[in-house]
Amino acid sequence: MIALLSYLHSCYIRSYRFGPPVFIFLFGITFIYMVVPNPVMESYSFSISFLFVISAAISYSMMDIEAPSQEAVTMLHAGSFIRTTFGKLLYSWLFTLPLALFAVLYPALFNKFDRVAGLDELTLSLLYHLAGSWLGITLACWFSSKLVRSRTTSFLSLSLVIVVAFCVSPLEKELPDSLKPLKWLLPPLDEIIQLLFHFEDATLASKLLALAAPLLYGTILCALFLMLLNKRRLDSL
């Protein structure tokens, strides 16, 4: 897997596709914290939402980083289509790690908050950032050219799903009681955002649930995506 990640890193860095999402994220975070002071966890809920969108953009470009002919060659050398595809998802997630660290440490180290953030808050916030980025990555992979041929359709569909992920609570309120369980089918980004807005009052169980829900949801999406692609292999190209 390290060899695959190293190869994907060479391809991604040299493609310069990382430039726009990384620049927008770094610029956005520094811009937002230009006004001080800020509440700690509420600010992190914003940067998690921001990282969720940026991670989706990174995954969207990463899944199609190779030309179809090269993808066939990589698959034969790596010996497994599941491994190469999972490698792309894993690489996308690892790529968001420094972004998550920046989002957590920059405001804490440069006194952008209204108080000093505790170590437990910083650690949990980093984990929430990573859970949010994993969710964004596993959602966006479904809209790569492997499953949706038209770039316009895939971009618009992904944008819609991202908007829906931010609107789960309002949508739930509008749904009749019999359809309310459908909420569990929607991306659980809202779990993290709502929790961070009421972090002081939240129980440990709810804090852990807000962390586990996007990770589990993302992992299920990832498993289904890999199963589907393994069945089709390179037929989609």
Partner 1 sequence: MNRDSLITLKKISKRYGSREVLSNISLSLRQGECIMIRGSNGSGKSTLLKIVAGLIPFTAGERQLAHAKLVIGYAPDHLARLRMTSTEYLTHMGRLSRMPKEQLQTRIEQLHAFFNLEQSKSLKMTHFSKGMLQKVNLMQATLHDPELLVLDEPLSGLDKESVQHLLSSLQQIKAAGTSILAAVHDTLLASELGGTTFWIKQGRLENSNMQAAALHSSQLSSVAAAQKSVEKGAVFELLLELSEQQLQHLTHLFPEVVWSKERHGLMTAIVLQKDYYSLMSEMVQQKIEMISLQRKEVAK
**Which tokens go with 194?**
């709502």
Q: Which of 21, 29, 66, 222 binds partner 1 (CB under 8 A)?
A: 66
Q: Rounded CA gap, 195 and 138, in Å?
A: 22
Residue 14 interacting with partner 1 (CB under 8 A): yes
Q: Which of 72, 122, 147, 164 binds partner 1 (CB under 8 A)?
A: 72
Q: Which of 51, 56, 75, 222 binds partner 1 (CB under 8 A)?
A: 75
Please provide residue 147's backbone torsions phi and psi, each rounded to the nearest 5 degrees.
Answer: -115, -30
Q: Which of 27, 37, 42, 73 binds partner 1 (CB under 8 A)?
A: 73
Residue 19 interacting with partner 1 (CB under 8 A): no
Residue 121 interacting with partner 1 (CB under 8 A): no
Q: Rounded CA gap, 75 and 223, in Å?
A: 18
User: Whose Cβ is closer to partner 1: residue 8's or residue 195's?
Assistant: 8
CB of 137: closest distance to partner 1 in angstroms?
Answer: 22
Strand partners, 71: none
User: Whose Cβ is closer to partner 1: residue 11's or residue 126's?
Assistant: 11
Q: How open is the CA angle 211-64-20, to the nearest 5 degrees? A: 70
Residue 231 interacting with partner 1 (CB under 8 A): yes
Q: How open is the CA angle 69-71-77, to the nearest 5 degrees? A: 110
Side-chain-facing half-sphere of 5: CA atoms under 13 Å: 10
**Which tokens go with 130?**
């990573």
Do the Cβ atoms of 154 and 148 come closer than 8 Å?
Answer: yes
Q: How open is the CA angle 100-40-20, to the nearest 5 degrees? A: 35
Residue 77 interacting with partner 1 (CB under 8 A): yes
Identify which range of 3-11, 42-50, 53-61, 143-151 contacts partner 1 by CB under 8 A.
3-11
- The string of DSSP letters for 94-130 reads HHHHHHHHHHHHHHHHTT-BSSPPPHHHHHHHHHHHH
CB of 157: closest distance to partner 1 in angstroms?
Answer: 22
Residue 208 interacting with partner 1 (CB under 8 A): no
Identify which range of 22-30, 46-54, 209-217, 229-237 contacts partner 1 by CB under 8 A.
229-237
Q: Enumerate binding residues for partner 1 (CB under 8 A).
A: 3-4, 6-7, 10-11, 14-15, 66-67, 69-70, 72-79, 231-235
